[in-house]
Structure 1
Amino acid sequence: MPAHRTPALRRLAGTTLTALVAVLAGCGDGGGGVPSAPLPRGDAAAYVAIGDSYTAAPSVGDDVGDPGCRQTTANYPRRVAAALEVSLVDASCGGATTRHLTEPQGGHAPQLDALGPGTELVTYSLGINDHRLFGRMLACIDLGPEDVDPDPCERSFGTTRAAQDKHLDRDRERLIDAAFDGLAAVAERAPNARILVVGYPQIAPADVACAQFPVAANEVPLTHRINRTVNDALATAATRQGLDYVDLFAATQGHDICAEDPWIAGGEPTAPAFPYHPYATEQQVAAEQVLAALR
């Protein structure tokens, strides 16, 4: 899809990155930004955010929107909307998968329903809950750091590296197909919008677990590969659709759950956040990366 500048995007192009960062920093842990409203339809908003709990950012700020979706005032869509000074429909919902683009999620409307010809910007971040990948990644910590045979990861993904890779390769292909179709549907519903595909941050450490992420030592690399597999699938689907990909994994590298300065909460968050979900810092960085992509 060719890049074009809507009025909101033209305003952004004339704004310095320093000023944008200052606006984002002013959002703080507790919120501000754009107030939520019942999910409008069609042309009600210039910016529509599609996503799951890594977009909704539960517990990071005050709860807003659909109470079952755990959206908060400090999530990255509200930070982006505040910086752009545009109206927002945050369609994200905790636990969402790509099928919730077209199907209701409990009492939450299908996320595609928020789009229309008047939509100028869409951020899309779905996939980590498909095939229960996130849940299965967290299952790797169920028995703590002890090496057991077979451990929870091995029961889900195979007992050998070859079996695990084969399983993840299959999931990757399915994720690519789902994201490709989902993005095509977004483009059809919002033909005038700039669409950004937003990946997931570095959640799992690459090689060493910790008390906040007590995975058996031999399975730490697998949890890291799951994290990377989802991002690789989204990036591939974005490329095939001719869309820009916002690489949050690269932007947050070194700030995983077990890092000295974690931007993702572990099992016992040390700041406002839901366990195994982003802190406010990660949401600010996500917003900055989205705004930088728009420039």
Structure 2
Amino acid sequence: MRRRPIRFLSAALPLLAAVGLLSSPAHAATPSYDSATQYVAMGDSFSAGVGAPGSELDCGRSPQGFPTLWAQAHGITAFADVTCGGAVTDDVLAEQISALSAETDVVSITIGGNDAAWGEQVLTCMQSGDSACSGAVDKAVAGLSAITAKVETTYAAIRQAAPNAKVYVLGYPLLFEETSTCSAWIVPNQHQRKQLNRFGRALNQSIADSATRAGFQFVDAQPFFAGHAVCSRQSWIHPVLNLTALHPNADGYRHGYLAAFTSATD
């Protein structure tokens, strides 16, 4: 797969140069996954493990991302990791679907955040003030129907390519704590953090609804990240003042995403 930029906050690169920045529903039967399981991890930087140590240069895949950790925990050797930082739905269709087959047992995916340009909303909030922030979030929420169509086209392609697989769609953590005080140096203010989390909730709800319509299982990662977003005392998400801004760190992938995925699969 060709190298792609980490687009979740790709619009932040000029700012970086200037200031140094950038529940899952219950299911009837619990699957049993072991060394014979064929597992394919798909999606964007939140599946690739961007922000965890050991990330590759091309797509940002890290051995400390949740897909590798989950595969190792189950002794799975038939594991294909085709995730890529910066991926949008078109990238999944063009470059990741080919990893699937009728023999695939398990698929995991995070997708939609880059399509929705979540990172650009963060920059608008930080650079243009509260009114512009609220307006940008209102526009993004209203535009989710277009993102939904892309996501559902992607889900349909996954089902066609892997007709026998159990597909787990993981949501995104909320990026910020909404408390009035924050010890981090450069962050959106309280109003802006609430607005950005409002979009995060709307995006996750849209993804969850699409997953349900596709017959996939949505895994809500947010409860596992609760109390550990940016501005918390023990954040599992990198702050804005970081080259992997607003992505989970190693603790976020292990104690947030892996724990969420494990709760849905084991």
Q: TM-score, normalised by structure 1?
A: 0.72
Distance in 1 (CA, whole Å) between partners of 2:130 and 2:40 is 45
Tell me the residue number matched to 1:117.
102
Tell me the residue number matched to 1:102.
93
2:136 to 130, 141, 156: 156
1:181 and 2:149 are equivalent in the alignment: no
Tell me the residue number matched to 1:33.
none
Instruction: Say whether the 8 Å CA contact 2:51–2:247 is kept in structure 1.
Output: no
Distance in 1 (CA, whole Å) between partners of 2:124 and 2:130 is 14
Distance in 2 (CA, whole Å) between partners of 1:174 and 1:212 is 35
1:118 CA displacement: 1.6
Equivalent positions of 1:148-227 (< 5 A) are 148=129, 151=132, 153-154=133-134, 156-157=136-137, 164=138, 167-208=139-180, 210=182, 211-212=184-185, 214-227=187-200
1:275 CA displacement: 2.0
Tell me the residue number matched to 1:290.
261
Equivalent positions of 1:1-295 (< 5 A) are 9-11=32-34, 46-64=38-56, 67-86=57-76, 87-103=78-94, 110-142=95-127, 148=129, 151=132, 153-154=133-134, 156-157=136-137, 164=138, 167-208=139-180, 210=182, 211-212=184-185, 214-268=187-241, 274-285=244-255, 286-295=257-266
Distance in 1 (CA, whole Å) between partners of 2:235 and 2:130 is 30
Distance in 2 (CA, whole Å) between partners of 1:243 and 1:149 is 37
1:226 CA displacement: 1.5
Letter in 1 for 2:157: A
SS in 1 for 2:68: helix
Distance in 1 (CA, whole Å) between partners of 2:180 and 2:83 is 32
RMSD: 2.6
SS in 1 for 2:231: coil
Letter in 1 for 2:149: D
SS in 1 for 2:143: helix
Larger gyration radius, structure 1 or structure 2: 1
Tell me the residue number matched to 1:15.
none
SS in 1 for 2:218: strand
Structure 2 residues without counterparts, runs of 5 or longer: 1-26
Distance in 1 (CA, whole Å) between partners of 2:259 and 2:92 is 25
SS in 1 for 2:152: helix
Question: % of aligned pairs identical?
Answer: 26
Distance in 1 (CA, whole Å) between partners of 2:185 and 2:47 is 22
Measured at CA, do residues 281 and 212 of structure 1 come closer, stay the same or move farther in structure 2, by a change above 3 Å?
farther
How many residue pairs align between the two structures? 236
Distance in 2 (CA, whole Å) between partners of 1:10 and 1:77 is 13
1:115 CA displacement: 1.0
Distance in 2 (CA, whole Å) between partners of 1:213 and 1:178 is 33
Measured at CA, do residues 253 and 137 of structure 1 come closer, stay the same or move farther in structure 2, by a change above 3 Å?
same
SS in 2 for 1:47: strand
1:94 CA displacement: 1.0
Q: TM-score, normalised by structure 2?
A: 0.79
Distance in 1 (CA, whole Å) between partners of 2:251 and 2:90 is 29
Distance in 2 (CA, whole Å) between partners of 1:185 and 1:128 is 19
Q: Which moved more, 1:277-286 or 1:201-210?
A: 201-210
Measured at CA, do residues 76 and 212 of structure 1 come closer, stay the same or move farther in structure 2, by a change above 3 Å?
farther
1:233 CA displacement: 1.0
Instruction: Say whether the 8 Å CA contact 1:46–1:88 is kept in structure 2.
Output: yes
Task: Select the structure with the greater relative contact order (CA < 8 A; seq sep ≥ 6).
Answer: 2
